[in-house]
Amino acid sequence: MTLLWSTSVFPWMKPSPCPEFDQGCETATPLQFLVLYTSFALISVGAGCVRPCSIAFGADQVNNKEDPNNERVLDSFFQWYYGSTGLSAVIALTLVVYIQDQFGWLIGFAVPASLMVLSLMAFLLGSPLYVQVNPKKSLFIGLIQVSVAAFRKRKISLSLPDAVAHYFNGNDSNIRTPTDDLRCLNKACFIVDAERELNPDGSAKDPWSLSTVENVESLKAVLRLIPMWSTGVMMLVILNNNFTTLQAKIMDRHITSGFEIPPGSFGVISVVT
């Protein structure tokens, strides 16, 4: 965000000013394009890393499995999180866009850049107070191991009468049996030969051939989210395009004779609805 703001501060980072209807305007240089696209890329990567992690990190701060009201507390946290996220989007599309439209990019970019610095400082100052959950083994590797183990055991049958007793739960797993949907993945946690697949302490000798029921259910949960995730991607693609802004620029946006809605603020309609 600071790099994007610098394109409005330093003259060498942007083309020379040009009248709106002048046909002989100077084009941006490759270096200017590089700085601009780099700032966009850094903003995208930063937002993509922060958004999914912030909600999980916040949930860790209020999650207490020993509290009988833990579920209600988590529900309240998620409601406040998404509510504040929607409110921040409304403020960004109204107040910040109005500042950019009225006072130019120099001040318009300085406002979100300053807010970003303040939020980072506030986050770092609270570091001693945070609940820090120790990381476990990589979830992604576990999901890949389930796929590989299920493929290796694709020819076995799960129709045995005592099949439930043959599922591998692991030493610290809370899930005892897999669900019936996507049964082909259940083969990944099915014990074919206990002497060959298990160590004396009950752990799996090869996690790429025998996975836990918990890992199998985690992969199923990810697969169930794919329809929701894929449709959400298309919705965000539609919301992030510039067609709404370009159409709003040719509209009569006057509410009164002295107030005109900035074209960039029309995106707030999608957030509110």
Task: For 1-50, give the secondary structure using H, E and C.
Answer: CHHHHHCCCCHHHCCCCCCCCCCCCCCCCHHHHHHHHHHHHHHHHHHHHH
Question: What pLDDT is attached to residue 25?
Answer: 77
For the entire predicted model, the pTM comes to: 0.67
The residue assigned the tokens 């899930």 is 175
The separation between the first and the last C-alpha atoms of the chain, rounded to the nearest angstrom, is 28
- What is the reported pLDDT for 223? 92
The pLDDT tens digits for 139-162 are 788 889 999 999 998 888 776 555
How much is the pLDDT for 21? 59
Question: pLDDT at position 240, please?
Answer: 66
Percent residues over pLDDT 90 in the chain: 10
Give the pLDDT score at 160: 58
The answer to whether 228 and 235 are in contact (CB under 8 A) is no
pLDDT of 132: 83
Closest C-alpha among 162, 218, 227 to residue 188? 218
Confidence of residue 20 (pLDDT cuts 50, 70, 90): low
Closest to 84 measured CA to CA, from 110, 112, 117, 51: 51
DSSP result, the chain: -HHHHHTTT-GGGSPPP--TT-SSPPPPPHHHHHHHHHHHHHHHHHHHHHHHHHHHHHHHHH--TTSTTHHHHHHHHHHHHHHHHHHHHHHIIIIIHHHHHHH-HHHHHHHHHHHHHHHHHHHHHTGGG---PPP-S-HHHHHHHHHHHHHHTTT-----TTGGGGB---SS----S--STTGGGGGGGB-S-HHHHB-TTS-BS-TTT---HHHHHHHHHHHHHHHHHHHHHHHHHHHTSSHHHHHHHTS--EEETTEE--GGGGGHHHHH-
Mean pLDDT across 84-98? 88
Q: In terms of pLDDT, which residue wins out, 195 or 243?
A: 195
Please provide the average confidence, as pLDDT, over all residues in the chain: 83
Give the burial string for 3-23 (b: 16+ CB within 10 Å, else e). bbbebbeeeebbeeeeeeeee
Is 49 within 8 Å of 119 (Cβ atoms)? no
pLDDT value at 220 more than 90: yes
Q: Quick one: pLDDT band at residue 79, thresholds 50, 70, 90?
A: very high
Strands 254-256 and 259-260: antiparallel
Among 116-120, 128-132, 167-171, 251-255, which stretch is predicted with the lowest mean pLDDT?
167-171
* Residue 23 predicted with pLDDT over 70: no
Confidence of residue 195 (pLDDT cuts 50, 70, 90): confident
Cα torsion angle, 155, 158, 163, 166, sign: positive
Residue type, 15: P
**Residue type, position 150, single letter:** A
pLDDT tens for 26-38 read: 788 888 889 889 9
pLDDT of residue 162: 52
pLDDT of residue 3: 84
Q: How confident is the model at residue 163 (pLDDT cuts 50, 70, 90)?
A: low
pLDDT score, position 144: 92
How confident is the model at residue 212, as a pLDDT? 87
- pLDDT above 70 covers a percentage of the chain that reads 92
Is the pLDDT at 122 greater than 60, yes or no? Answer: yes
247-251: which pairs have CB atoms within 8 A and are 24 or more residues apart?
Answer: none
